[in-house]
Amino acid sequence: MKGWWGICIILAAGVLLFSLSYYPNYFLGNELWGDFFEFVGTGLLVLGACLAARKLTRKSVALYFLYTGAACLAFARFIDFSFEIPAINAWPIVGREGFGNELAPRITENAGYICILLAFLALLREVTRLHDHLEQDNLRLKDLHDQGVFLTRVADMSAEAVFGCDRDGVIRTWNCGARALFDYAPEEAIGMPVARLFAEGAGRLPLMSRELAETCTPLRDIELAALTKSGRKFWTSASISTVSEDGGVPLGFSMVVRDIEARKEAERKLKHSHDMLASALHNAEVGMLIIDRKLELLAINPRLEDIAGGWVADFQSLRDACDRILDPQVQFLERLTKDVLDRGRPIEFRNLTIHRRHGGDLIWEIGSGYFGCRNDDGSFSPEKFTQNACDPQVKMIEIKLSQGAKPGHGGVLPGAKVTPEIAHARGIPVGVDCISPSSHSAFSTPLELMAFITRLRTLSGGKPTGFKLCIGHPWEWFAIVKAMLATGVTPDFIVVDGAEGGTGAAPVEFTNHVGSPLQEGLLLVHNTLRGVGLRERIRIGCAGKVISAFDITRMMALGADWCNSARGFMFALGCLQAQTCHTGNCPTGVTTQDPLRQQSLVVGDKTERIHSYHTMTLHALKELIQAAGLSHPGDLTAHHIVRRSSNGKVHSLAQSVLTQMHDGALLQTDLGGLPLIYRQSWPLARAESFMLQG
Annotate 433-471 with b (16+ C-beta within 10 A) or e (fewer): ebebeeebebbebbbebbbbbebbbebbeebebbbbbbb
Helices (H), 377-489: 382-389, 420-426, 446-459, 474-487
> Given pLDDT bands bounded at 50, 70 and 90, which one contains residue 454?
very high
CATH tag for 158-264 (out of 3.30.450.20, 1.10.260.40, 3.40.640.10, 2.60.120.10) = 3.30.450.20
Window from 33-37, 531-535, 575-579, 604-608 with minimum mean pLDDT = 33-37
- Structure confidence at residue 621 as a pLDDT band (50, 70, 90): very high
Q: In 223-251, which positions are buried (b, 16+ CB within 10 angstroms) versus exposed (e)?
A: ebebbeeeeeeeebbbebebbeeeeeebe
Burial 368-384 (b: 16+ CB within 10 A, else e): bbbbbbbeeebebbeee
Amino acid at 82: S
3-state secondary structure of 171: strand
Q: Which residues contact 649 (CB under 8 A, 6 or more apart)?
A: none
Most confident of 253-267, 332-346, 573-587: 573-587
Query: How confident is the model over 77-106, as a mean pLDDT?
Result: 61
Mean pLDDT over residues 603-616, rounded? 91
192-201, 604-613, 648-657 — which is least confidently predicted? 648-657
How many other CB atoms are there within 10 angstroms of residue 577's CB atom? 11
pLDDT at 383 over 90: yes
CB burial class (10 A; 0-12, 13-18, 19+) of residue 292? Answer: exposed
> Hey, is 237 helix, strand or coil?
strand
> Is residue 104 helix, strand or coil?
helix
Amino acid at 214: E
Contact criterion met (CB below 8 Å) for 282 and 302: yes
In words, the CATH class of domain 361-565+628-681 is alpha beta
Mean pLDDT score, 178-192: 80
Q: Is the pLDDT of residue 329 over 50?
A: no
SS3 assignment, position 599: coil
State the Cα torsion 660-665-666-670 to the nearest 10°.
-120
Q: Which residues of 638-647 are buried (b: 16+ CB within 10 A; e: fewer)?
A: bebbeeeeee
Q: Treating both helix axes as pointing N-terminal to C-terminal, what angle do 31-56 and 61-82 enclose, rounded to 10 degrees? A: 170
Burial letters for 502-537: b for 16+ Cβ neighbours within 10 Å, e otherwise?
Answer: bbbbbeeebbeebbbebbbbbbbbbbbbbbbebbee
The predicted pLDDT at position 292 comes to: 66
Amino acid letter at 182? F
Going by their DSSP bridges, the two strands 434-436 and 411-413 should be labelled as: antiparallel
Cβ(50)–Cβ(116) under 8 Å? Answer: no
> How confident is the model at residue 302, as a pLDDT?
73
Q: How far apart are CA 21 and CA 28, in angstroms?
A: 11
Q: Which residues contact 103 (CB under 8 A, 6 or more apart)?
A: none
Q: Across 118-188, where does the E strand assignment appear?
A: 161-166, 171-174
Distance CA 357, CA 281 (A): 19
Q: Where are the beta strands (DSSP E) in 50-206?
A: 161-166, 171-174
Q: How confident is the model at residue 490 (pLDDT cuts 50, 70, 90)?
A: very high
pLDDT band at 17 (very low <50, low <70, confident <90, very high): low
Of residues 82 and 325, more confidence is placed in 82
Q: Identify the sign of the CA torsion 218, 220, 225, 229.
A: positive
Top-ranked range on mean pLDDT: pick from 285-299, 517-531, 578-592: 517-531
Q: Residue 394 and residue 418: Cα distance in Å, rounded?
A: 23
What is the three-class DSSP state of 663? Answer: coil
CA dist 622 and 672 (Å) reads 41
Residues ≥6 apart with Cβ < 8 Å to 605: none
Let me know how long the chain is: 694
Q: If you average pLDDT over residues 450-478, what whole number do you get?
A: 94
pLDDT at 293: 64
User: Residue 84: left (phi > 0), alpha (psi -120 to 50), or beta?
Assistant: alpha
Alpha-carbon distance of 337 to 344, in angstroms, equals 9
What's the confidence (pLDDT) of residue 281?
Answer: 67
Q: CA-to-CA distance for 388 and 405, rounded, in angstroms?
A: 27
Of 562 and 343, more confident: 562
Q: Average pLDDT of 456-485?
A: 94
Contact 111, 61 (CB under 8 A): no
**Orientation of helix 446-459 relative to helix 382-389, angle to 10°:** 50
Radius of gyration of the chain (CA): 51
The whole-number average pLDDT for the span 122-142 is 78
Considering 43-52, 177-186, 398-407, the range whose residues carry the highest mean pLDDT is 398-407
What stretch of H or E contains 397? Answer: strand 394-400
Identify the CA nearest to 661 among candidates 674, 652, 671, 672: 674
CB 226 within 8 Å of CB 198: yes
Helices of type H across 21-102: 22-23, 31-56, 61-82
In this prediction, residue 542 has a pLDDT band, given cuts at 50, 70 and 90, of very high
**Mean pLDDT score of the chain, rounded to an integer?**
78
Query: Is residue 311 packed enough to be buried (19+ CB in 10 Å), middle (13-18) or exposed (0-12)?
Result: exposed
Q: What is the rounded distance in angstroms from the CA atom of residue 690 to the CA atom of residue 65? A: 112
Please name the residues in contact with 348: beta carbons below 8 A apart, sequence gap of 6 or more. Answer: none
Query: Residue 437 in 3-state DSSP?
Result: coil
Q: What per-residue confidence (pLDDT) applies to 615?
A: 95
562: pLDDT confidence band, cut at 50, 70 and 90?
very high
Structure confidence at residue 93 (pLDDT): 57
136-147 pLDDT per residue, tens: 877 877 776 666
- Between residues 98 and 645, which one has the greater pLDDT? 645
pLDDT in tens, 651-682: 666 665 555 678 888 988 888 888 888 888 99
Distance CA 508, CA 76 (A): 110
CA–CA dist 515, 606 (Å, integer): 33
Q: How confident is the model at residue 328 (pLDDT cuts 50, 70, 90)?
A: very low
Query: Which range (441-445, 538-542, 663-667) has the least confidence?
Result: 663-667
Q: What order do you get walking across the sheet with 539-543 strand by strand?
A: 362-366, 394-400, 465-469, 493-497, 539-543, 562-563
Listed residue (194, 175, 199) closest to 252, CA to CA = 194
Band the pLDDT of 412: cuts 50, 70, 90: confident
- Coil, strand or helix at 540: strand
Q: Between 279 and 453, whose confidence is greater?
A: 453
Residue 495 has pLDDT above 90, yes or no: yes
* pLDDT band (50, 70, 90) for residue 174: confident
Contact of 18 with 38, CB cutoff 8 Å = yes
